[in-house]
Amino acid sequence: MTPSGPASDDALIAAVAAAGWRLPPWLPPMLSPYERDFMWIEMTGQRTRDYYARRLQMIGFAGGERVLDAACGIGQWSLALAENYRHVEGVDINPGRLLVARALAAEQGRSTCTFAYAPLEQLPQADGSFDAIFCYGAFMFTDMPRTLREFRRVLKPGGRVYLNANSTGWYAHLLIDRGLKKRSLSMVRSALTMIRRTLWGHTSQIVVRERWLVRELQRAGLRVHALGAEGTLQLTPGVVPVPAAYPPKYYGRTSILELVAER
Q: DSSP secondary-structure letter at 142? A: S
Res 5: pLDDT? 65
Res 85: pLDDT? 97
User: β-pairing, 256-262 with 223-229?
Assistant: antiparallel
**What's the one-letter identity of residue 36?**
R
Instruction: Identify the CATH class of 61-167+208-262.
Output: alpha beta
Res 67: pLDDT? 98
Q: How far apart, in whole angstroms, are the C-alpha atoms of residue 165 and residue 194?
A: 13
Mean pLDDT of the residues in the chain: 95
Res 186: pLDDT? 97
**Cα 231–48–85 angle (5° rounding)?**
75
Q: Which helix (H) or strand (E) holds 91?
A: strand 85-92
* Tens digit of each residue's pLDDT (9 = 90 or more) over 2-54: 445 667 999 999 999 999 999 999 999 999 999 999 999 999 999 999 999 99
pLDDT higher for 225 or 240? 225
Res 62: pLDDT? 84
Of 165, 163, 123, the C-alpha closest to 261 is: 163
Cα 194–chain centre separation: 19
Q: How far apart, in whole angstroms, are the C-alpha atoms of residue 124 and residue 104?
A: 23
Domain ranges of the chain: 8-47, 61-167+208-262
3-state SS, residue 236: coil
Q: How far apart, in whole angstroms, are the C-alpha atoms of residue 90 and residue 118?
A: 9
* Tens digit of each residue's pLDDT (9 = 90 or more) over 84-105: 999 999 999 999 999 999 999 9
Res 2: pLDDT? 45
88: left (phi over 0), alpha (psi -120 to 50) or beta: beta
- In this prediction, residues 145-173 reach a mean pLDDT of 98
Res 1: pLDDT? 42
Q: How far apart, in whole angstroms, are the C-alpha atoms of residue 191 and residue 206?
A: 9
